[in-house]
Amino acid sequence: MAFTPLHGTRAPVRVWTDPYAIEPQAAQQLRNIGALPWVEGVAVMPDVHFGKGATVGSVIAMRQAVSPAAVGVDIGCGMSAVRTSLTAADLPDDLAGLRSAIEAAIPVGFARHDDPVDPRRVRGLEQRGWADFWARFATLDERVAPLEGRARQQLGTLGGGNHFIEVCLESGGPDAGRVWLMLHSGSRNIGKELAERHMGIARRLPHNAGLPDRDLAVFLAGTPEMAAYRRDLWWAQEYARRNRALMLALLCGVVRDAVGHVGFDEPISCHHNYVAEETYGGVDVLVTRKGAIRAGAGDLGIIPGSMGTGSYIVRGKGNPDAYCSASHGAGRRMSRGQAKRTYSTADLAAQTAGVECRKDAGVVDEIPAAYKDITQVMAQQEDLVEVVAHLRQVVCVKG
């Protein structure tokens, strides 16, 4: 579908869904964003829903400014996936055993590694840049200095909420049945701590005093506050990327141990909570994607559905109206609290039939029915991406 403009804003707000279907709270957030004097434009993805400060599923282009709330607290959160040489027939009969092996190798929820993982001991992991990366920890906001040990132990861990690890099968086409490995995670506690510190600083700056929502407070180019945020932001985005790379390498090792010889294609990785320096119409802007992936022409990306509906590997079409972006998933249609009040563990078991995964009360808020219809979400962004592969999970690990 083509975009629909959201009226009543200073900057253009383009919407890739039915604007009347957007929840009122989210619509007001989008109008508040479109009213900011630094905003060049906003693109709203079909998985849009209300979020803290800025709307989830929003792409915001700002000139000489950036809002930390438009990135969110899980800086660099995103997806990684890799296609293997395996087919469904190569997987072990006991998928419960495979799930247990994954959970043993990669801590989930609040758990972390007892000792930091040594990258040199992980087969298939990129070895460059690790020493320089950790050396830069000392340059971050001084208040996070005590968290370095925890950050090292959490590198290579999943977290909770909507983060997941999956073993998937490709659906349809010449590669039907091909096994893919996929995961979703971000910058763990250290990203959250950095984000919250900078969001607090931004709220107190005088130029943000008259905003309709102080959570949309911005840093301005050329200021020490902006420089400090960008320093910490770039590091946290790299932490998230390295976290996913380490987990994917550990996951590949689990599969290798389970089935023997296996080949892996080049991994696909994409952030969906981050900032990038980009140029549109000759204007240099800082683009924040909160719940959105970059979908430049030819860019490969990952758009997951839910733990019972599968995911898509996509190739971007480079649509400048959307700031070369696409959705980051199906997007929630109800809050976690509402999902827990609405559905039972029996509902969860029914909606995840055929998937080896948790089916207990602790993940009812992740039930597929709490999310939008991923098929419809994909149809609404046909001018943003083309589908490369449709994947259905057979194993899903949640925190």
Q: Is residue 99 part of a domain?
A: yes
Boundaries of domain holding 320: 4-333+371-398
Q: Is 57 left (phi over 0), alpha (psi -120 to 50) or beta?
A: left
Q: Is residue 130 part of a domain?
A: yes
Q: Where are the beta strands (DSSP E) in the chain?
A: 4-5, 13-15, 39-49, 56-62, 65-66, 78-87, 164-171, 178-185, 219-220, 268-271, 273-280, 283-290, 292-294, 300-304, 311-316, 325-327, 385-398
**How far apart are the two ends of the chain, measured CA to CA in Å?**
35
H helix intervals, the chain: 24-35, 95-105, 130-135, 148-154, 188-203, 224-259, 336-342, 345-351, 374-379
- Residue 313: helix, strand or coil by DSSP? strand
- Choice among 49, 198, 271, 328 that is catalytic: 328
Q: Is residue 348 part of a domain?
A: no
Residues annotated as binding site for Mn(2+)?
Answer: 74, 163, 184, 272
Q: Is residue 349 part of a domain?
A: no
pLDDT of residue 30: 95
Residues annotated as binding site for GMP?
Answer: 162-166, 272-273, 304-307, 311, 328-331, 398
Report the domain count for the chain.
1
Q: Is residue 358 part of a domain?
A: no
Q: Please indicate, yes or no, whether the overall pTM of this predicted structure exceeds 0.85.
A: yes
Is residue 207 annotated as part of the catalytic site, yes or no? Answer: no
What pLDDT band is residue 1 in, cutting at 50, 70 and 90? low
Q: Is residue 312 part of a domain?
A: yes
DSSP class of residue 137 equals G
**Tens digit of pLDDT for each residue in 19-77?**
999 999 999 999 999 999 999 999 999 999 999 878 999 999 999 999 999 999 999 99
CATH code for position 250: 3.90.1860.10
**Tens digit of pLDDT for each residue in 187-238?**
999 999 999 999 999 999 999 999 988 899 999 999 999 999 999 999 999 9
Q: Is residue 361 part of a domain?
A: no
Q: Is residue 353 part of a domain?
A: no
| Residue that the structure tokens 């990129």 belong to | 126
